[in-house]
Amino acid sequence: MNALFSGTNMQIHANPFVFECELARTALVIIDMQRDFIEPGGFGETLGNDVSLLQAIVPATQRMLHAWREKGGLVVHTREAHRPDLADCPPSKRNRGNPSLRIGDPGPMGRILVAGESGNQIIDALAPIDGEIVIDKPGKGAFYATGLQSLLQQRAIRSLVFMGVTTEVCVQTSMREANDRGYDSLLLEDCTESYFPAFKAAALEMIRAQGAIVGWTAPSRKLLAALGD
């Protein structure tokens, strides 16, 4: 048996040990599943990355999202997005990366990493629906300079389940921010990806090492089983 589901309490067989949470007190947080990272012509590709690696997690991520919605769980989507005037993009961030196609420059899907541009949207397969929270974040972490913490507090959320990209950058940063704010976090291993497979493997190890020093990891099938799917 992969997991136990009794009422709203779940025990998910995760690493390094069982992750316990209550559905009504848990949010599914989907980090930056945006065209800018996943499709050709966006920010990810401007940095020289092979975006097809990230596309591979879309089916598992979509399945998890649908199962979570079926149970009525809270869903939070994030987008790495800067204001059109780039007032929230420090030069130290803009000046790194690809010097001929920087954040805010016009690219094939509109201005790179700018809110409202078509490249900045969440991919169709995972598009938010009414009632779901969408957070635009100027940093790598989902809590920095956003209203996420107060939105979670208003809903008495205590645990977070993470999916999204990229594992060692925005996902791991967000999990570390969550950890410091007192949340228990689980990362679904087959619903997160990096442009660098070795970085993903290392990030998963770092997160769950030392008795879940940042959080837990598990394959999505363990959570699906806990949801009775």
Of 21, 36, 89, 170, the active-site residue reads 170
Q: Does 39 bind ligand C5J (CB under 6 A)?
A: no
Nearest alpha carbon to residue 211 among 16, 30, 57 = 16
- Minimal distance, residue 19 CB to ligand C5J, in Å: 23
Q: Reduced to 3 states, what is the DSSP secondary structure of residue 136?
A: strand
Largest CA distance in the chain: 55
Region of 58-66, 151-159, 166-174, 205-213 interacting with ligand C5J (CB under 6 A): 166-174
Stretch that binds ligand C5J, among 85-93, 141-149, 162-170, 198-206 (CB under 6 A): 162-170
Closest CB to ligand C5J among residues 13, 36: 36
Judge contact between 102 and 41, C-beta under 8 A.
no
On whether the CB atoms of residues 136 and 145 are closer than 8 A, the answer is no
46 binds ligand C5J (CB under 6 A): no
Nearer to ligand C5J, 116 or 228 (CB): 116
170 is catalytic: yes
By CB under 6 A, name the one of 121, 166, 185, 217 that touches ligand C5J: 166
Residue with smaller CB distance to ligand C5J, 32 or 189: 32
Region near ligand C5J per CB under 6 A, out of 99-107, 121-129, 163-171, 185-193: 163-171
Residue from 170, 178, 191, 204 touching ligand C5J (CB under 6 A): that is 170
Helices (H), the chain: 35-38, 43-46, 52-55, 58-70, 91-94, 148-154, 172-180, 197-212, 220-226
Q: With binding defined as CB under 6 A, does residue 26 bind ligand C5J?
A: no
Q: Say which of 137, 140, 200, 222 is annotated catalytic.
A: 137
Of the candidates 205, 200, 160, the residue with the CA atom closest to the CA atom of residue 180? 160
Contacts of 96 (CB under 8 A, 6+ apart): none
Using the structure block, give the residue that is written with the tokens 């929270």.
133
**Angstrom distance (rounded) from CA 180 to CA 70:** 30
71 a catalytic residue: no
Q: Is 137 a catalytic residue?
A: yes
Q: Which residues bind ligand C5J (CB under 6 A)?
A: 32, 37, 80, 140, 165-166, 169-170
Annotated active-site positions, please?
Answer: 32, 137, 170
